[in-house]
Structure 1
């Protein structure tokens, strides 16, 4: 919503995260614009709750990205595992949820490198639980771009093969 004076009835459906952040900002400005509002109207907390709903959507998207990365790392680190079909299926489900929830306004707020570091940690512990390890070096920063991960045609096996070829190389900045 670029114009704060004209509500966009489709903004809520098209980009809930942007809508929630805009609505919270507008609610916080309301007391300065309309000083005669009822005192019982708790605008500060209403704004915070709406903002939190948007942040929850963002957290869900970040979780799906992290889960996909964990499964890619495990499949790359243990390429002969019988669990690869299971990891592929789970990553496909995570990706479907990601595609449904991701909105372009989230792009600036998603830290792929943090998601990558956390995914490496989770994958390392998961593999260790089964007597395996990541072995070799994984890139120090996320080797995937956000656009690749949220694309509807994302392919787990292609991403896994590409990651396997990148294991000893840090991606360009």
Structure 2
């Protein structure tokens, strides 16, 4: 592993100047136990932003998942393998994020209503169906949405999917 040695007399690279270098220096200082030399304020902000980043990713993936579930349900004759792959991918990625950060387990349910509003608009735009053709409130529970076996609407088989 390539470790960066931070000289005791060397002033740390400012975070605004070179973010990657700053991160490497802060990591090296932590490993060396040189806590008094850390850029504590910026380091604390960066660590806090990591949790916000996971939340943003969960929300984004949930929105994409909802959009594809709506398309799946409301355009059964146009179901594509790409929709199936997107639904599966989003579920697995959300599951992975929640496994890594169990404290965020309730977060998808907390974001459901907000993400559904945008997913509904995107589904209408993408399908050409009117917004009124979609429910105004999410018709699926968070448990259904994240369930790998749940696909709303008419039953389907893989041979019915449009291959892209």
TM-score (norm 2): 0.60
> Which residue does the alignment assign to 1:90?
86
Runs of 4+ in 1 over 4 A off after TM superposition: none
Shift of 1:49: 0.6
> Which residue does the alignment assign to 1:61?
58
Shift of 1:52: 0.7
- Structure 2 residues without counterparts, runs of 5 or longer: 1-34, 156-164
> Which residue does the alignment assign to 1:141?
137
Q: How many residues align?
A: 117
Q: Spell out, residue by residue over 1:77-131, the C-alpha distance to the aligned partner (whole angstroms, 9 max, x if none).
A: 21111x433211221111111111124422147311001001011111111xxxx
> Which residue does the alignment assign to 1:120?
120
Quick one: structure 1 residues 78 and 134, their matched pair in 2 at CA, closer, same or farther if it must change by over 3 Å? farther
Over the aligned positions, Cα root-mean-square deviation in angstroms equals 2.5
Measured in 2, the distance between the counterparts of 1:92 and 1:134 equals 26
Please give the residue correspondences for 1:19-168 in structure 2 after superposition, counting only pairs within 5 Å: 38=36, 40-81=37-78, 83-102=79-98, 103-106=101-104, 107-108=106-107, 110-127=110-127, 132-134=128-130, 137-151=133-147, 154-157=148-151, 159-161=152-154
Shift of 1:156: 4.3
Instruction: State which structure, 1 or 2, has the greater radius of gyration over its C-alpha atoms.
Output: 2
- Structure 1 residues without counterparts, runs of 5 or longer: 1-36, 163-173
Shift of 1:134: 4.6
TM-score (norm 1): 0.57
Measured in 2, the distance between the counterparts of 1:148 and 1:51 equals 31
Measured in 1, the distance between the counterparts of 2:63 and 2:118 equals 7
